[in-house]
Amino acid sequence: MIEDSKLFKKIVLGVFVLVLLLIGFTVLNSSKHKGTTKIDIHVIPEDSQIKVDGVVSDKVTYLNAGNHKFEAHKEGWADAIQTIEIKAEEKQRNVYLVPAPNSKEVSDWLNKNPKVQQQRETFGSINFEVNGTQVSKKYPLVVKLPYIDRYFRIDYGVGVKSKDQATSTAIYIRASSAENRQMALNWIRQQGFDPTDYEIVFKNFNNPFGQQQ
For the chain, domain boundaries: 131-213
Q: Are 96 and 42 in contact (CB under 8 A)?
A: yes
Q: For residue 1, what pLDDT band results from cuts at 50, 70 and 90?
A: low
Q: Are 135 and 163 in contact (CB under 8 A)?
A: no
- The pTM (predicted TM-score) of the whole model is 0.56
Query: In this predicted model, what pLDDT tens digit does every residue of 112-121 receive, in sequence order?
Result: 888 888 888 8
**pLDDT value of position 69:** 93
Judged against a pLDDT cut of 90, whether residue 85 lies above it is answered with no
- Give the closest residue to 213 by CA, choosing from 173, 115, 154, 204: 204
**pLDDT value of position 63:** 92
Q: Average pLDDT, whole number, for the chain? A: 81
Q: Who wins on pLDDT, 194 or 208? A: 194
Handedness of CA 84, 88, 89, 91 (dihedral sign): positive
Collapse the DSSP code of 78 into the 3-class scheme (helix H, G, I; strand E, B; otherwise coil) and give the result.
Answer: strand
CA distance 26 to 104: 48
**pLDDT value of position 160:** 63
Query: In this predicted model, what pLDDT tens digit does every residue of 20-69 receive, in sequence order?
Result: 666 655 555 556 667 889 999 999 999 999 999 999 999 999 999 999 99
Distances 113 to 96, 105, 106, 190, 213 between C-alpha atoms, Å: 20, 12, 10, 36, 13
